[in-house]
Chains A and B, each alone.
Chain A
Amino acid sequence: MTELERKQERTPVPKEWTYAPAPEARDVVSLRERYGHFVGGEWIDPAESYTTISPADEEPLAEVGQATPEEVAAAVTAARDAFENGWSEISPAERAKYLFRIARILQERSREFAVLESLNGGKPIKESRDVDLPLAAAHFFYYAGWADKLEYAFPNRRPRPLGVAGQIIPWNFPLLMLAWKIAPALAAGNTVVLKPAETTPLSALLFCDVVRQAEIPAGVVNIVTGDGRTGVEIVKAEDVDKIAFTGSTEVGKAIQRELAGSGKKLTLELGGKAANIIFDDAALDQAVEGIVNGIYFNQGHVCCAGSRLLVQESIYEPVVEKLKRRLTTLRVGDPLDKNTDVGAINSKQQLEKIQELVSSGEEEGAEIYQPPCRLPEKGYWFAPTVFTNVAQSYRIAQEEIFGPVLSILTFRTPEEAVEKANNTPYGLSAGVWTEKGSRILWMAERLRAGVVWANTYNRFDPSSPFGGYKESGFGREGGRHGLEPYLQFDGSETFGG
């Protein structure tokens, strides 16, 4: 035996391949200890504060304001002043210039924002880096383009801005939802008062930096932070002309009740319980990727998540087997690790809601599967979960869980798939997986959902309108349609939605 052979015998092929941690550096983000509200271009000291944390390890990140009625009123006044004294007068091309600036600054500072988004929200850095930030910048670019072309967007209708828009956004895509709200509002010539979600205020507060950097006139963008009480103040404020809300159906209904008869315009983007429908001729491995992307993307904290999987019964077994095996390769853990696929649950409250619904599923008789994975001890975590043997009547097939939990049901014919998919009070989105083009069109015609994805899922583009049917809300965001809720038209009545 040569020396080399002995050497080779001593170094057999290693068996285990464990990826070394690959954390994104945190030092691109510098946080202040305390944040106030951003009103009229200045920071105002908050009367009350609370601590915002990282859901991955419960580390306190900063003190942020809990806006009082007076502080909200000040923000609305600042927005009104800015609207009356300048912003509604400047040329549309000027408005476009500001929006283009924001878009470019977001691109330049995208790493900083991505890290902050993962830190404060718990989502994997690869998602905030590759999805949230590029899309947020794209949204500003897109609406910047419309700012001086509104008359072409709505020929013969003479569009004018509404005034002050009150905007309340959720915690699942904090910066992206901010972009969805602020970009069309500003492009249409309005000023805004925006409240980020209670648990994820930091990217909106960092965005105030961008507003200053872009030299947006004072008062055009105002940010107040706080919980639902602050939101109520914005909704009630006399001088707000329009409310745009993204969040739970329950709160959306309350807002609609509150605004009835007030003359304020309203758009609501609420919950969902989307069906992801897999036909037996679908490309199975890619469909499984679509299922995973549909429900485990952003820990399932997605209003359009494909949380109900409808599988044609003839391929039920291979699909479930493939899905379970795929789940074992999902990497759950540190949101800032570049290899993490599933991050932390956004808050304790949300974790408890998920736990409660999951145990109801087990009690009702569904079969639970979770891949073996070690969850961190601190912070809020929930393993990716699949329920089989789910009946349409179970709560997990009816209620929005807003977590990494998938319920699998079966169907036999396209008609049955449509019937089951539509059998929900929601109607935000749906997915169809088939190699047959005619069937895609047939399904899309019948599915009562704002978005129907074919052979893909959770794909967004600023030019594509997004919004719901039924209890998933009304009004559209994105595209030319997304401008309309922020405009009024001479010589025509405006509708509430």
Chain B
Amino acid sequence: MAQAPVLPRGFELPLEPRLPRIGSVDAVALEERAASLARRSIKRDAKVFALDLAVRMMDLTTLEGQDTPGKVAALASKAIRPDPSDLDVPSVAAICVYPNLVPTAVSRVEGSTVKVASVATAFPSGQSPLEAKLEEVRWVVEHRADEVDMVIDRGAFLSGRYAKVYDEIVRVKEACGDAHLKVILEVAELGTYDNVRRASLLAMAAGADFIKTSTGKLPGAATLPVTLCMLEAIRDVYEETGRMVGMKPAGGIRQAKQAVQYLVQLHETLGPAWLTPDLYRLGASSLLNDVLMQLRKEKTGAYQSPDYFTVD
């Protein structure tokens, strides 16, 4: 068999044969569609369903230089039992912390359904040597993190070195072993929806279990249009390969109303099969209490003072 010629730069994207064509995204129409889905009116039972689901899908996050074992312990308690006065409120999906705090987090959520996610690979910039990133991933997995949230190398992506980005994800995936891999695209640094789509497909091709919008460290994190753009890429991969990849918008989601909008968008783009914490997460640090407050309001008919909800 003749040797295939080496592809010129830019054609090196090593997609699996059955992945969808990369295609393009029309920004105006995408934003219009996202805005029209956000206008759905979700009331009563449907709202309770959404708020309950939002809690189940939440990755309760703290990623600060000032994080301490005490802070993480408090977060873990909140994650397990978000509303001590209402046992019908489920636990959140996971708590998301820095590597150093993984051991504390793991011991604190032991015996509950709450998982521990750790950011890794030189979060948030990703500007470290591959070996150092892999070492970090192996370390958090050894310390029993269930999920790893890695960042892609945006420097490589934006300079067209897609193969480097791809290879790195493949290597991190190997290092993860059984841990679930979420790949953070950091959409605010990618500049266009076309790039977001390209990076989404690339991450999925390289083995991501989830794709995730943002580190939460930059302004302009998750938005409804950018999340829709990623959901559409997930849908194309599903239609071509049957593989179900998860989605995690993160950063900037602070109100229950926004959470409901994200879930409507998910519901009407990927369908009911994706309405599970196994395939969708909301990354947030300050969303939970607003959701709890709205849930209580739907159940009791009245708003209660924020003083009734614990600040952790």
Chain A residues lying within 8 Å of B297, measured Cβ to Cβ, are none
With A5-B113, A15-B272 as known contacts, state yes or no: A283 contacts B25, CB within 8 Å. yes
Q: For the complex, give the distance between the alpha carbons of A285 and B20 in Å.
A: 13
How many A-B contacts at CB < 8 Å in the complex? 94
Cβ-closest chain A residue relative to B50? A17
Q: Enumerate B255-286 residues with CB–CB distance to A below 8 Å.
A: 263, 267-268, 272, 275-277
Q: How many residues of B contact A (CB 8 A)?
A: 41
Query: Main SS of chain A's interface residues?
Result: loop
Q: Enumerate B42-64 residues with CB–CB distance to A below 8 Å.
A: 42-47, 49-50, 52-53, 56
Q: For the complex, give the distance between the alpha carbons of A14 and B277 in Å.
A: 12
Chain A residues lying within 8 Å of B232, measured Cβ to Cβ, are 285
Asked if A16 and B272 sit within 8 Å, CB to CB, the answer is yes
Q: For the complex, give the distance between the alpha carbons of A339 and B111 in Å.
A: 42
Chain A residues lying within 8 Å of B160, measured Cβ to Cβ, are none
Tell me if B217 counts as interface (CB < 8 A to partner A): no
Q: Enumerate B22-39 residues with CB–CB distance to A below 8 Å.
A: 23-26, 28-30, 32-33, 39
- Pick the residue among A5, A19, A126, A282 that contacts B46 (CB under 8 A): A19
Asked if A20 and B45 sit within 8 Å, CB to CB, the answer is yes
Tell me if A257 counts as interface (CB < 8 A to partner B): no
Tell me if A435 counts as interface (CB < 8 A to partner B): yes
- Pick the residue among B30, B47, B263, B275 that contacts A20 (CB under 8 A): B47
Asked if B25 and A22 sit within 8 Å, CB to CB, the answer is no
Give the Cβ gap from B294 to chain A, nearest Cβ, in Å: 15
Asked if A283 and B46 sit within 8 Å, CB to CB, the answer is no
With A286-B30, A339-B41, A456-B28 as known contacts, state yes or no: A17 contacts B267, CB within 8 Å. yes
Tell me if B171 counts as interface (CB < 8 A to partner A): no
Tell me if B239 counts as interface (CB < 8 A to partner A): yes
With A13-B277, A17-B267, A17-B275 as known contacts, state yes or no: A283 contacts B47, CB within 8 Å. no
Cβ-closest chain B residue relative to A285? B232
Give the Cβ gap from B122 to chain A, nearest Cβ, in Å: 33
Tell me if B213 counts as interface (CB < 8 A to partner A): no
Chain B residues lying within 8 Å of A13, measured Cβ to Cβ, are 53, 56, 275-277
Give the Cβ gap from B257 to chain A, nearest Cβ, in Å: 14
Q: Enumerate B76-108 residues with CB–CB distance to A below 8 Å.
A: 80-81, 87-88, 90-91
Chain A residues lying within 8 Å of B45, measured Cβ to Cβ, are 18, 20
Chain B residues lying within 8 Å of A329, measured Cβ to Cβ, are 268
Tell me if A289 counts as interface (CB < 8 A to partner B): yes
With A286-B26, A289-B29, A435-B24 as known contacts, state yes or no: A8 contacts B46, CB within 8 Å. no
Tell me if B112 counts as interface (CB < 8 A to partner A): yes
Give the Cβ gap from B58 to chain A, nearest Cβ, in Å: 13
Tell me if A362 counts as interface (CB < 8 A to partner B): no
Asked if B267 and A283 sit within 8 Å, CB to CB, the answer is no
Q: Enumerate A460-494 residues with CB–CB distance to B below 8 Å.
A: none
Tell me if A338 counts as interface (CB < 8 A to partner B): yes
Q: For the complex, give the distance between the alpha carbons of A289 and B33 in Å.
A: 7
* Contact code string A279-308 (vs B, CB < 8 Å = 1, else 0): 001111111011000000000000000000
Q: For the complex, give the distance between the alpha carbons of A25 and B111 in Å.
A: 49
Give the Cβ gap from A120 to chain B, nearest Cβ, in Å: 22
Tell me if B40 counts as interface (CB < 8 A to partner A): yes
- Pick the residue among B41, B44, B81, B263 that contacts A338 (CB under 8 A): B41
Asked if B90 and A8 sit within 8 Å, CB to CB, the answer is yes
Q: Enumerate A286-344 residues with CB–CB distance to B below 8 Å.
A: 286-287, 289-290, 321, 329, 338-339
- Pick the residue among A8, A11, A20 that contacts B43 (CB under 8 A): A20
Give the Cβ gap from B43 to chain A, nearest Cβ, in Å: 5
Chain A residues lying within 8 Å of B277, measured Cβ to Cβ, are 13
Chain A contact-residue range equals 35 or more
Tell me if A4 counts as interface (CB < 8 A to partner B): yes
Asked if B87 and A290 sit within 8 Å, CB to CB, the answer is no
Tell me if A398 counts as interface (CB < 8 A to partner B): no
Chain A residues lying within 8 Å of B28, measured Cβ to Cβ, are 455-456
Tell me if A7 counts as interface (CB < 8 A to partner B): yes
Q: For the complex, give the distance between the alpha carbons of A288 and B29 in Å.
A: 10
Q: For the complex, give the distance between the alpha carbons of A8 and B80 in Å.
A: 11
Asked if A283 and B29 sit within 8 Å, CB to CB, the answer is yes
Chain B residues lying within 8 Å of A3, measured Cβ to Cβ, are 87
Tell me if A30 counts as interface (CB < 8 A to partner B): no
Chain A residues lying within 8 Å of B30, measured Cβ to Cβ, are 283, 285-286
Give the Cβ gap from A217 to chain B, nearest Cβ, in Å: 40
Tell me if A438 counts as interface (CB < 8 A to partner B): no
Cβ-closest chain A residue relative to B277? A13
Asked if A19 and B272 sit within 8 Å, CB to CB, the answer is no
Chain B residues lying within 8 Å of A14, measured Cβ to Cβ, are 49, 52-53
Chain B residues lying within 8 Å of A5, measured Cβ to Cβ, are 111-113
- Pick the residue among A4, A17, A287, A455 that contacts B87 (CB under 8 A): A4
Chain B residues lying within 8 Å of A349, measured Cβ to Cβ, are none
Q: For the complex, give the distance between the alpha carbons of A280 and B111 in Å.
A: 53
With A285-B232, A338-B41 as known contacts, state yes or no: A455 contacts B90, CB within 8 Å. no
- Pick the residue among B32, B80, B88, B267 that contacts A11 (CB under 8 A): B88
- Pick the residue among B23, B42, B53, B112 that contacts A284 (CB under 8 A): B23
Residues on A close to B: CB < 8 A? 2-5, 7-8, 11, 13-22, 126, 130, 281-287, 289-290, 321, 329, 338-339, 435, 455-456
8 smallest beta-carbon distances between A and B, as pairs: A286-B29, A22-B41, A283-B26, A286-B26, A338-B41, A20-B46, A20-B44, A20-B43
Beyond the given pairs A5-B113, A285-B30, 10 more chain A to chain B contacts, judged by CB atoms under 8 angstroms and listed by A's residue number, are A15-B272, A17-B46, A17-B50, A17-B53, A17-B267, A18-B45, A126-B39, A283-B30, A285-B232, A455-B28
Name 20 A/B residue pairs within 8 A (Cβ), A-sorted: A11-B88, A14-B52, A17-B50, A18-B46, A19-B40, A19-B43, A20-B42, A21-B43, A22-B43, A281-B24, A282-B26, A283-B23, A283-B24, A283-B25, A283-B29, A283-B30, A284-B23, A286-B26, A338-B39, A435-B24
